[in-house]
Amino acid sequence: MEFEFDDEQRLLQRVVRETVTRTRSLPEDQLWDTYLELGWLEAPPVELAIVLEELGYAADPTPFLATATWFAPLAGRLPRGSGTGVFDGEGRFVLDADRADEIALLTSEGVVVRDGKDLAAERLSVFDPTLHVARVDAPDLVAGVPDLALMGLAVSTVGSCRRILDLVVAHVKERHQFGVPIGSFQAVKHKAADMYVAIERAKVLAYFSALTIAEDDPRRGRAVAMAKAAAGDCQRVCFRNGFQLFGAMGYTWENELQIHLKRAKAGDLLLGTASEHRKALLV
């Protein structure tokens, strides 16, 4: 097997990074149009993972993740506008269901696609006000989480964690106490190093799962469970160490760290925590 990006994938990664940095302050609808123009919604699994990691890094405000990894694998097509999917058998905590143009429902009769407006999903009040999750009321729902949805959430969470680490590294280089940057203290270094290792572990497992989906490999079910569990492990380390190393500044609303901490945590709590996916690996 070969486990590094080819030239085209490297180029895509660079383009996504540059685009995401350049468009950071654009309003949501313009961001969305940019993603559509660049064809990111049509990207195959590994390329999609590259896009999602960077959108996770940027705490993307659009419904891209739900459209590409919750709607598309269920409906087998892209939606008119944005979309999401209901596949938990209950319609609880459905990502972006309150603003999706189309919603794919996994029912006992198979997949049914409904107009978002007709379902009138009720947005839930959550700790992260930028996160759209909603309750969908519909009959005959059954459970069956698409592999792509687990991979997508895992790799987005890796992106959030990378952002947390970058913010922390910049902070501990800048912040002086006792006459030196706090990043020169070994206690600080070791926490940062542990974040880095957790991110690398989660990242390779996320990309491996994308690769097994791309090649429809029989290992894909286990691979996505590992990816989701490792992303969960990773956010635990990055949330705890990242928050702690930022000191009181990370405790404020103004500091952007809070956005990424919340995204990372949501990435674990949605579609099953690390512990639940570990249990899935044991059966």
Judged by CB under 8 A, the residue of 40, 64, 93, 208 near another protein is 208
Residue 45: which of 218, 227, 213 has the closest Cα? 213
Chain centre distance of CA 27: 20
Tokens 């938990």, located at residue: 88
DSSP class of 251: G
CA-to-CA distance for 166 and 182, rounded, in angstroms?
A: 15
Please select the residue that binds another protein; options are 38, 194, 243, 273, rule is CB under 8 A. 194
Q: Which of 7, 27, 186, 253 binds another protein (CB under 8 A)?
A: 186
Output the smallest distance, CB 154 to another protein, in A.
Answer: 12
| Distance, CA of 101 to CA of 93 (rounded, Å) | 17
- What is the rounded distance in angstroms from the CA atom of residue 109 to the CA atom of residue 241? 46
Do strands 102-107 and 133-135 pair parallel, antiparallel, or not at all (unpaired)?
unpaired
Task: Determine if 192 is a binding residue for another protein (CB under 8 A).
Answer: yes
* Segment interacting with another protein, rule: CB under 8 A, options 93-101, 148-156, 191-199, 262-270: 191-199
- Find the binder of another protein among 175, 236, 240, 278 (CB under 8 A): 278
What are the backbone angles phi and psi of residue 81, rounded to the nearest 5°? Answer: 80, -135
Stretch that binds another protein, among 14-22, 55-63, 124-132, 173-181 (CB under 8 A): 173-181
| Sole binder of another protein in the list 15, 36, 138, 169 (CB under 8 A) | 169
- How many Cβ atoms from other residues are within 10 Å of residue 236's Cβ? 17
Q: How far is the CB of 106 from another protein (least distance, A)?
A: 26
Q: Which residue has the tokens 């919603």?
A: 103
How many alpha carbons fall within 13 Å on the CB side of residue 158? 28
Binding test (CB under 8 A) with another protein, winner from 21, 190, 244, 256? 190
Among 68, 167, 226, 259, binds another protein (CB under 8 A): 226
184 binds another protein (CB under 8 A): yes
Burial class (CB in 10 A: 0-12, 13-18, 19+), 44: exposed
230-249: which residues touch another protein (CB under 8 A)? 230, 233
Is position 4 an interface residue for another protein (rule: CB under 8 A)?
yes
- Single out the residue of 78, 114, 217, 236 in contact with another protein (rule: CB under 8 A): 217
Cα–Cα nearest to 188, from 171, 164, 163, 202: 171
User: Is position 201 an interface residue for another protein (rule: CB under 8 A)?
Assistant: yes
**If we measure between CA atoms, which residue out of 9, 16, 52 comes closest to residue 34?**
16
| Of residues 75 and 172, the one with the C-beta less far from another protein | 172
Residues that bind another protein (CB under 8 A): 1-6, 9, 46, 165, 169, 172-173, 180-181, 183-184, 186, 188-190, 192-194, 196-197, 200-202, 204-205, 207-208, 211-212, 215, 217, 226, 229-230, 233, 275, 278-279, 281-282
